[in-house]
Structure 1
Amino acid sequence: MSISQLTDEQVRNVIQGPGDVEWRYEMRRECQEILPGLFLGPFVASKSLETLQSLNITHIVCIRDAKEAFSVRPRFPEHFSYLTLDVEDNEEQNLIRLFPRAKAFIDEAIRPERGGRVLVHCNGGISLSPAFVVMFVMQYYSLSWEDALHLVQNRRYCISPNGGFLTQIKEYEAIYRASQAVASYPATQRPINRRKREDDSDDEDPREEDRSKRVLFESDTSHNSLLLQLEYDPNAMEIS
């Protein structure tokens, strides 16, 4: 989805989010809807079956440090579809490598014909899971990394991805824009396999092609022979 068709003011309103929400400290322990069908929050928000069902959540992305696995884990696998990612919450962790799995899971859940609703959480919902959600929002709306970060912050005020994650968020903008450019490249300008084209005439005489290949081969052979001769006999080209 792209918001390129919207006016500048409409885009600003999407990034700004609802202006009537007064942020309270205790909201850190709750989850917030970042875009239609996508929620972001802490692990504690994923522990209440009643809350999850009231929000009509169908899918949950559980992002955790491996050493938290004993506590941060899927709690209701019989009620929701889970994707669990073991990720270290430090600046050296490569998020870009792991992001495609999360994106594919979320895309599948929230596609219109499926109508799913996804909660993405880590332990605190401050650094790790927000980094994934910012990258998803960036590509979903075709935004710059700064606008995507502001969009998420304006809905969950307490997020603060660490410096390493912010660097990767910036890098991901170039990656997703490059993939979009490749996808939009006109098919008519892409290289064509000339060995056999669908529009080639079936009654074309194959001997013509063989004859052309033979001429090229003989020309190349003659040229290579001359080069070898010059290499071993520098005077071969001298006129006597």
Structure 2
Amino acid sequence: MSVSQVSPGLFLSGLDSALSLSALTGRSITLVINASGLEDVSYPRLDGLQVLHVPVQDRPHAPLRRYFDPVAERIYQNRTGRTLVHCTAGRSRSPALIMAYLMRFEGLSLRQAYEQVLEQRPFIRPNAGFWRQLMDYERSLFGRNTVRMVRTSSGVLPEALRDSEDTDTTAAYCVNV
């Protein structure tokens, strides 16, 4: 069971940790965002604990994008409390939702949001469809992209675009190849 703190008051985990009374109380969690795709989840009974369900499967064509704004707004509204965003393993749906929040309310680019989440939880791996949805979201927020999808021998992967002052010419994939 692993809970990763992405920023003050914002945590990321898999389902097991989200069901742990000690994980929730130890971090004073007041809002749980359940992106596991499971609706009948029995969380520990805690006074004031709110749960928001995001009914999306971890499939590339699943419409996670439609939840970017509502989830980001709920996290932002809970900024005086503490929020745990989880999916089944804490690797694809929940990190994507947190990256959308970081773009919308913290002003980070998709590349920066990914790097911040990855630093705290090194095994995240949003699926290619979620990456595309995040790229569309970034473009709608900022009018540009900092990540693109490229075809590689390992399949289609997200690649961080280089800043104009960046002199490193090696590819920086957003997943381990």
Interval containing the TM-score (normalised by the shorter chain): 0.7 to 0.9
Q: Give 1:141's aligned residue.
A: 106
SS at match of 2:54: strand
| 8 Å CA contact retained: 2:39, 2:53 | no
Structure 2 unaligned residues grouped into runs of 5+: 144-177
- The alignment covers a number of residue pairs equal to 142
| 8 Å CA contact retained: 2:64, 2:130 | yes
Q: Give 1:85's aligned residue.
A: 54
TM-score under structure 1 normalisation?
A: 0.56
Cα displacement string for residues 157-181 of structure 1 (whole angstroms, at most 9, x for unaligned residues) = 1100000111111111111226xxx
Q: Give 1:51's aligned residue.
A: 23
SS at match of 1:124: coil
1:100, 1:140 → 2: CA distance?
10
| 8 Å CA contact retained: 2:76, 2:105 | no
SS at match of 2:52: strand
Structure 1 unaligned residues grouped into runs of 5+: 1-28, 179-240
Query: Whose strand fraction is larger, Structure 1's or Structure 2's?
Result: 2
1:162 lines up with 2:127 in the alignment: yes
1:50, 1:78 → 2: CA distance?
11
Q: Using the aligned pairs only, state the percent identity.
A: 30
1:101 lines up with 2:70 in the alignment: yes
2:45, 2:77 → 1: CA distance?
18
Q: Give 2:39's aligned residue.
A: 69
Q: After TM superposition, what 4+ stretches of structure 1 lie above 4 angstroms from structure 2? A: none
Query: Whose helix fraction is larger, Structure 1's or Structure 2's?
Result: 1
> Deviation at 1:78?
4.3
1:60 lines up with 2:25 in the alignment: no
> Deviation at 1:74?
4.2
Map 1:221-240 → 2, pairs under 5 A = none
TM-score under structure 2 normalisation?
A: 0.75
1:159, 1:42 → 2: CA distance?
11
CA RMSD of aligned residues (A): 1.5
> Deviation at 1:141?
2.3
